[in-house]
């Protein structure tokens, strides 16, 4: 099948048209190269045109990316060896610088960015003790070095938004593990001793308060008992006085019977009295 010249022209024109357009998605930016030389940068989302054959477009994702790196071993100021595992969150900030520094290769960018972050974190950890690194604010460790990290990352056209420390481990081949455990044990013992002392103090306070309340209750009860006893004795004396005033002889007889009852209550009492003693007046047959 033979193609006419106009069909060949249409085909060439179509290929040229298709080779002259490119699209940039949302969250992306592009650069245009003219025979390998950057001629346009920061091309935003949408449909764009370029010269076919002599120009090419490279599209890059400018959204945030997570950079994972191998744990880095560092030394604290108290000569303790630790392993710091971290990740970084960043994005392309300058496409021209990014392309010139990495050729647009993400693997190259990561391999060159990781040492910058590790060096900054190492410097910060080297200025702190193990206790400050483990128990302190980890975000503060990163915050103090984020500006330094971004100065180095700017040469790659990258901006680091955040760096997070995932975990801090003690290498198994060092003697730090025992030191950390001993320090943690000492801290827990201090907390336990403090709580125990506070408990003993509270117990003594509660016990002293209870003893004071007991003494007050007993004293008030004894006071009320004395008052009631006095009132009872006064009432009994009044009744006795009334009874004596009505019939003195019966009252004397009753009092004598009470005296006899108390004197001979155990059945073994022996009382030596004169025959005419008044105490025995109600026991004689002549009455």
- For residue 202, what pLDDT is reported? 92
Tokens linked to 41: 């940068």
- For residue 209, what pLDDT is reported? 92
Tokens linked to 79: 């000569």
Are the C-beta atoms of residues 176 and 80 closer than 8 Å to each other?
yes
pTM: 0.50
Ordered by start, the domain boundaries in the chain are 5-61, 65-174, 175-246, 247-287
Alpha carbon separation from 103 to 2, 34, 156, 280 (Å, rounded): 44, 15, 10, 138
Chain centre to alpha carbon of residue 239: 76
287: DSSP letter: -
- pLDDT in tens for each of the 287 residues of the chain? 555 666 665 555 555 555 567 788 788 888 888 887 877 887 778 787 777 777 778 888 888 888 877 777 777 777 777 778 888 888 888 888 888 888 888 888 888 888 888 888 888 888 777 777 776 666 777 777 888 888 888 888 888 888 888 877 766 655 555 666 777 788 888 888 989 999 999 999 999 999 999 999 999 999 899 989 888 888 887 887 777 777 677 777 777 777 777 776 676 766 666 666 666 666 655 54
Which CATH fold topology does 65-174 show?
Answer: Tetrahydropterin Synthase; Chain A (3.30.479)
CA distance 63 to 25: 11
């Amino acid at each position: 099948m033979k193609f006419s010249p106009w069909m060949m022209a249409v085909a060439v024109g179509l290929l040229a048209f298709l080779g002259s357009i490119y699209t940039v998605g949302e969250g992306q930016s592009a650069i245009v190269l003219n025979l390998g030389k950057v001629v346009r940068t920061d091309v935003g989302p949408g449909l764009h045109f370029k010269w076919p054959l002599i120009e090419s477009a490279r599209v890059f994702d400018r959204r945030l990316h997570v950079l994972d790196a191998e744990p880095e071993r560092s030394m604290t100021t108290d000569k303790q060896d630790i392993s710091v595992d971290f990740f970084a969150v960043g994005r392309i900030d300058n496409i021209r610088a990014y392309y010139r520094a990495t050729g647009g290769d993400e693997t190259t960018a990561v391999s060159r960015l990781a040492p910058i972050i590790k060096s900054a974190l190492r410097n910060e950890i080297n200025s702190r003790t193990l206790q400050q690194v483990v128990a302190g604010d980890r975000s503060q460790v990163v915050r103090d070095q984020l500006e330094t990290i971004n100065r180095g990352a700017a040469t790659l056209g990258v901006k680091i938004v955040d760096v997070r420390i995932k975990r801090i481990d003690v290498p198994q081949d060092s003697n730090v593990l025992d030191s950390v455990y001993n320090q943690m044990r000492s801290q827990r013992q201090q907390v336990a001793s403090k709580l125990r002392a506070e408990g003993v103090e509270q117990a003594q306070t509660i016990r002293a308060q209870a003893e004071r309340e007991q003494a007050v209750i007993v004293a008030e009860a004894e006071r009320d008992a004395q008052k009631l006893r006095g009132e009872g004795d006064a009432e009994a004396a009044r009744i006795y006085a009334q009874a004596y005033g009505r019939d003195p002889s019966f009252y004397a007889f009753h009092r004598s019977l009470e005296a006899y009852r108390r004197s001979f209550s155990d059945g073994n009492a022996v009382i030596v009295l004169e025959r005419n003693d008044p105490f025995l007046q109600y026991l004689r047959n002549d009455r």
